[in-house]
Amino acid sequence: MTQLAPLPKVVMGSLAFGVFWMLAVFPSVPFLPIGRTAGALLGAVLMIVFHVISADEAYASIDLPILGLLFATMVVGGYLKGAGMFKHLGKLLAWRSQGGRDLLCRVCVVTALASALFTNDTCCVVLTEFVLELAAERNLPAKPFLLALATSANIGSSATPIGNPQNLVIAFNSKITFLQFFFGILPAMLAGMGVNTVMLLCMYWKDLEGADEVAAAAGKEMEAVEEGRSPASVLSLKNSPTATPAAHSALRQRHGHDTDDDPDSMMSENIPTKHRWFMQCSEHRRKLFLKSFAYVVTVGMLVAYMLGLNMSWTAITTAIALVVVDFRDAEPCLDKVSYSLLVFFSGMFVTVSGFNKTGLPGAIWNFMAPYAKINHVSGVTVLSLIILLLSNLASNVPTVLLMGDEVAASAATISASAVTRSWLLLAWVSTVAGNLSLLGSAANLIVCEQALRAPRNAHDLSFWSHVVFGVPSTLVVTAIGIPLIGKIAF
């Protein structure tokens, strides 16, 4: 039975957590517009200043394995982008598209599967502008495709420990293997992806009747998106019947390279500090070797996960292998890492740990635990609703940090298998809960921001337009997936 801390500690700890929550959900409040990352650090500092947690306890609460895995995953993702992985995904979306409905289904399937392997946030960053271009060229509305991208990324990311940050936390705390996690949630993910796609088609059936014009040079569009240019800058000249070879040459010179190359790639040939061995190879062979190596070691990383090796050090080893084989200064590579995300997680770990020390989360759970037993349908329903609400009020990662151990301890009184199912249930519901509203997950916000800042075909995905589809989709997908959790044992 969890005991409440003294009243002053409870009040001050709740205040510090409230500041963190407010800035995490509303990072640009008028009276304190400092953003999420600074808000997480502020919450952590307040926990120490208010003596809710000591400095040593704060340092100990920072989960270095999770931070290491996040860091390494971002490095590997950058190399895969440089190797053209997301360009190929873009080609798959556009290849022989048969209309708006067919394109929407492709966006849902490709995004869900890619998010399971390359994280939902990464897929949303890379694919948003490209999806907008595909919709615009076919005279289709942007909203259905943006919703498809955001919701499918969240649903697909639920299937693996590396799909999203909350799954990383669950995988480390629960000690569930990669394959146990994958097969435990896979049926729910596939069913949820299908249901979400059908709901999108039903809601926007008439809107998707726009003319399906041929998308020329889909690979060029994706490369342009990856380079930070508008795909129209390539397509308008490349596809123009009056474009001359000199014009094509001017286009290449303006960007400093052939349009088939990726200047932002970490495998670019523009850096002069190449090893002599590379200089003796042909340009084609160098590119082919580096790209092939990126794919091979990434597959090796996934195999290592499946064999049960330490995920954090496996990812770090893969990232270092890519850096070393690239044979050049790693600074451009490391500049691609989102250090603000790592700082946000560090501050959040400290803030949540301090809030747990107040005893308030445990006391609330003690009240709800008798009604949230996972061996009864009513208990699973109550537990799922609690996770759903908290994930949208406090965000999904803090919810997992606050509830994970308590839910597992409650399930341990039933059976060992119930403990595994409780962790998987927490992963499924907290992830799908991100689709409820625009503020439910970082992936939603990334899609919204990327769409708003798109150099061409910019679109404002509003809070309410997301809620209209997000609420029914979240409730139905969550309900359909829950009975399927843990059905495939490994």
Domain layout of the chain by residue ranges: 67-217+273-490
**Chain position carrying tokens 């991100």:** 434
pLDDT-wise least confident of 52-66, 130-144, 235-249, 460-474: 235-249
Handedness of CA 273, 279, 281, 283 (dihedral sign): positive
Higher pLDDT, 170 or 277: 170
CB 332 within 8 A of CB 353: no
pLDDT of res. 278: 53
pLDDT of residue 237: 37
Within 10 Å of residue 214's Cβ, how many Cβ atoms? 10
pLDDT, position 235: 40
**49, two tokens:** 């200043």
Asked if 179 contacts 306 with a C-beta cutoff of 8 angstroms, the reply is: yes
Highest mean pLDDT among 127-131, 343-347, 474-478: 474-478
Q: What is the pLDDT of residue 243?
A: 44
Q: Which amino acid is at 85?
A: M
Which of 171, 165, 68 has its CA nearest to residue 115? 165
The kind and range of the H/E element at 78 are helix 64-82
Read off the pLDDT of residues 301-360 as tens digits, 9 standing for 90 and up. Answer: 888 888 878 888 998 999 999 999 888 888 888 887 878 878 888 998 899 889 888 988
Q: What is the pTM of this model?
A: 0.71
Asked whether residue 282 carries a pLDDT value surpassing 80, the answer given is: no
pLDDT, tens digit, for every residue of 317-332?
Answer: 999 999 998 888 888 8
Token pair 């490369």: residue: 223
pLDDT, tens only, 75-119? 887 888 788 776 776 677 767 767 788 889 999 999 999 899 877
Taking the C-alpha atoms of residue 94 and residue 87, their distance in angstroms, rounded to an integer, is 11
What whole-number distance in Å separates Cα of residue 344 and Cα of residue 19?
14
Mean pLDDT value across the chain: 80
Rg (CA), the chain: 23
- Residue 165 neighbours by CB distance under 10 Å: 27
Tell me the average pLDDT across 244-260: 40
The token pair that represents 155 in the structure block: 């649903």
What spatial distance separates the first Cα and last Cα of the chain, rounded to whole Å?
A: 34
In sequence order, what are the residues at sequence separation of 6 or more whose Cβ sits closer than 8 angstroms to the Cβ of residue 296?
none
Q: Which residue has the higher pLDDT, 235 or 376?
A: 376
pLDDT for the residue numbered 279: 53
d(CA 117, CA 162): 7
Residues 6+ apart with CB under 8 A from 37: 340, 341, 343, 344, 347
Residues ≥6 apart with Cβ < 8 Å to 199: 469, 472, 473, 476
Of 409 and 439, the one with more pLDDT:
409
State CA 8 to chain mean position distance. 38
Exposure string for 103-117, b = 16+ CB within 10 A, e = fewer: bbbbbbbbbbbbbbb
Token readout for 340 is 């603000």
Distance CA 42, CA 24 (A): 11
User: Which residue in this structure is represented by tokens 């307040």?
Assistant: 46
Residue owning tokens 């998106």: 225
